[in-house]
Structure 1
Amino acid sequence: MSTDTIRVVAPADFHVHLRQGSFSELVTKHVRKGGFTLAYVMPNLQPPIKSTEEALLYKAQLQAIDPSVEYLMTLYLSPELTPEEIRKAKAAGIVGVKSYPRGVTTNSEGGIESYETYYPVFEAMEQVDMVLNLHGEVPSDPATNTCVLNAEPTFLPHLRKLHARFPKLRIVLEHATTKAAVDCVKSLGDTVACTITAHHLALTVDDWAGQSFNFCKPVAKYPEDRKALQDVVKEGHPRFFLGSDSAPHPPSKKSTATPTQPCAAGVYTSPILLPLVAHLLESFDALDKLEPFVSTNGRAFYKQPIRMTLVENESGEVEERQDTVVLRRAKATVENQYVVRENSVVPFWAGKELEWELA
């Protein structure tokens, strides 16, 4: 790695929202535009992806938009999901199951209320080695003094209980935002990992209070929480890796709110993701951890080998090489908006300058 050029082997985003319909045609191509060759796709569509057939159909739709990306598919944890469906999904190559607490984020109205109900499903997942992805918040409740600022720490006992009950089940706590979450995951066994988003490495409460395009769930927390996220990345801890939670919404849903319809939760980073992560890691002296954070740590936990590509070398011989993305140091201004036909989306840090770009 030189000071002006960085080669990253097979960047992988282990948490991304690619939506559906014509909006998906806009945002799916941004996975590769942002420097990534693997996308772990969330199932909270309308309606959610609850069966093997639905997941495979969605994957085919994504591949039709951009076949150069490897899509790993997930199912939405719901009462319809059975141990038999888990075994069927595993055989079809589906990698994980995503759990959303009811009502805490986009399209989570069908989310869970009790984990014990799903113990037979988790047991089957443990047996066939599928991953459980947890949105780690509990719903707000004035009676228990629970709100968006402490919803994640309040959830962590559920994570500990699930890990104790299913020690061989691979579990990922998604998009951690607090020091408490970092400390909790570090204290648990090797089957528990954690994703961190790019925007949570940058934001605190002050950055989203009054700024709708920085508003997401879970919300960014305090400076000490942001530092804990940065520190565990800088440490190079092998069970912490990138899951962008890149969540696109039309500008009309981000920039306006009414008494009955709040602004949509989601920060959109896909089209600038790898340069953005490099920019942020360099800001807290962790640039040497870029490849583990965006590729090898997550791939190791998910047991996803790096794809090999056939290329012609200088001698004219065809040989196998690992997928590699190159970054170069160059100031690049983030576009204000991406538009395809009737669809548009505003990216994170629109109009700001990054220190890196894809070569």
Structure 2
Amino acid sequence: MNEITIIKPDDWHLHFRDGDMLLETVPATARCFERAIVMPNLVPPVTTADLAVSYRERILAARPEGSAFMPLMTLYLTDKTSVEDIKAAKKAGVVAAKMYPAGATTNSDSGVNSLESLYPVFESLAEHDMLLLIHGEVTQKHIDIFDREKAFIDQHMVKIVERVPNLRVVFEHITTKDAADFVFSAREGVAATITPQHLMLNRNDMLDGGIRPHNYCLPVLKRSTHQEALRAAVKTGSNRFFLGTDSAPHVQHRKESGCGCAGCYSAWSALELYTQVFDELDALDKLEGFASLHGPDFYSLPRNTQTVTLAREAWQVPESIVLPDGEPIVPFFAGKQINWKLK
């Protein structure tokens, strides 16, 4: 197969950032995605309906002329989030709430310290037909960073899913066989997003032969056995897994520093990279479900009606992308060849 046409996909997990960065990140996503779930971990975070509406307007203003791209907004949960906050968010068109354990990743310091106190909020989400999106890692420093996803499943995820049975839960950017197995075995209403980097890379690609900061993300890349488990999961075609790039831009000097930031900026190549993975797995027939169908079905949103076509054509990801203010970003897979290209 040298060409594949699929229903236009959506990105169910990404970071646009804010300000001038939107002039880069929004067009990059709008080139091939119809909608995207926008992460709320700005500084300050998007903790109220009013902040979500304001952020949505800034994103819409950064769309390319003629673009119909639509951001889907989320609310950032804190220990102080109330049932009233959820009601107001629903009324404002916010579709989901995002839970970061405090300190788990970029701009998550205002996240949740006490999960137990949030169960009324979780129940309110279920009542208002909103989703809970979870960054599933514990933050206890004595737990090895490579084990924190598994520990979160054991300590928290099982309990959340069981105690609020009507709540739709997305286990974001899963990285381990443990997470894939959990999603396969969980009740209805539990799904997961998977990034291109976690399908394509393992921790050797970050650490072998020198530290490669542009492959550093959170949750961190894991062993090859976990990478293979994620690839096996998407190859099944299960509707519990769908596309979420976790595209997360940082300027070059913030990645290549003494304390480099976590995140891979994949927006300009993500769909092509996913296509390459499914091609390698001899599963191109499963790509449309993963990229275009499972996500909207899980979110109870209509499927897109337009299509996109990818052709088997080699091209090279640029070494860097220059922002409007002149700062460079090194994109994910920079300087490497991809064998599929969006027509």
TM-score range, shorter chain: over 0.9
Identity between Structure 1 and Structure 2 (%): 40
Query: How far 1:186 sits from its partner (Å)?
Result: 1.0
Residue type of the alignment partner of 1:139: T
Q: How does 1:1-359 map to 2 (within 5 A)?
A: 3-33=1-31, 35-66=32-63, 67-142=67-142, 146-157=143-154, 158-209=156-207, 210-257=211-258, 262-307=259-304, 322-342=305-325, 343-359=327-343
Instruction: Write the distance in 2 (CA, Å) between the matches of 1:10 and 1:290.
Output: 11
Residue type of the alignment partner of 1:170: R
Query: How far 1:26 sits from its partner (Å)?
Result: 1.3
Aligned residue for 2:33, secondary structure, equals coil
Name the CA shift for 1:293/1:355 in 2 (closer, same or farther; >3 Å): same
Instruction: Write the distance in 1 (CA, Å) between the matches of 2:220 and 2:228.
Output: 15
Instruction: Write the distance in 2 (CA, Å) between the matches of 1:101 and 1:8.
Output: 36
Contact 1:49 1:76 in 2 (8 A): yes
Instruction: Write the distance in 2 (CA, Å) between the matches of 1:140 and 1:211.
Output: 25
Instruction: Write the distance in 1 (CA, Å) between the matches of 2:89 and 2:108.
Output: 21
Q: Scaled by the length of structure 1, what TM-score is found? A: 0.91
Aligned residue for 1:271, secondary structure, equals coil
Contact 2:20 2:324 in 1 (8 A): no
Instruction: Write the distance in 2 (CA, Å) between the matches of 1:140 and 1:26.
Output: 35
Provide the aligned length of Structure 1 versus Structure 2: 335
Q: Scaled by the length of structure 2, what TM-score is found? A: 0.95
Residue type of the alignment partner of 1:325: V
- Unaligned 5+ segments in structure 2 are none
Instruction: Write the distance in 2 (CA, Å) between the matches of 1:185 and 1:340.
Output: 38
- Unaligned 5+ segments in structure 1 are 308-321
Instruction: Write the distance in 2 (CA, Å) between the matches of 1:349 and 1:140.
Output: 31
Deviation string for 1:46-90 (max 9, x for gaps)? 000000010011001101111521110000001332111211211
Contact 1:306 1:323 in 2 (8 A): no
Aligned residue for 2:41, secondary structure, equals coil
Instruction: Write the distance in 1 (CA, Å) between the matches of 2:268 and 2:237.
Output: 25
Aligned residue for 2:269, secondary structure, equals helix
Deviation string for 1:92-113 (max 9, x for gaps)? 2110000111112100111112
Contact 2:198 2:227 in 1 (8 A): yes
Name the CA shift for 1:163/1:112 in 2 (closer, same or farther; >3 Å): same
Deviation string for 1:221-274 (max 9, x for gaps)? 1111011100110001111111110100000011121xxxx1000011111111
Root-mean-square deviation over aligned CA pairs: 1.1
Residue type of the alignment partner of 1:323: Q
Query: How far 1:341 sits from its partner (Å)?
Result: 2.6
Query: How far 1:175 sits from its partner (Å)?
Result: 0.5
Contact 1:50 1:80 in 2 (8 A): no
Aligned residue for 1:327, secondary structure, equals strand
Deviation string for 1:156-186 (max 9, x for gaps)? 0211100110011000100000000011111
Contact 1:140 1:148 in 2 (8 A): no
Larger radius of gyration: 1
Residue type of the alignment partner of 2:336: K
Aligned residue for 2:309, secondary structure, equals strand
1:312 alignment counterpart: none
Aligned residue for 2:268, secondary structure, equals helix
Instruction: Write the distance in 1 (CA, Å) between the matches of 2:215 and 2:247.
Output: 12
Query: How far 1:141 sits from its partner (Å)?
Result: 2.1
Query: How far 1:326 sits from its partner (Å)?
Result: 1.0
Contact 1:15 1:245 in 2 (8 A): yes
Residue type of the alignment partner of 1:333: Q
Instruction: Write the distance in 2 (CA, Å) between the matches of 1:195 and 1:290.
Output: 14
1:315 alignment counterpart: none
Instruction: Write the distance in 2 (CA, Å) between the matches of 1:76 and 1:97.
Output: 6
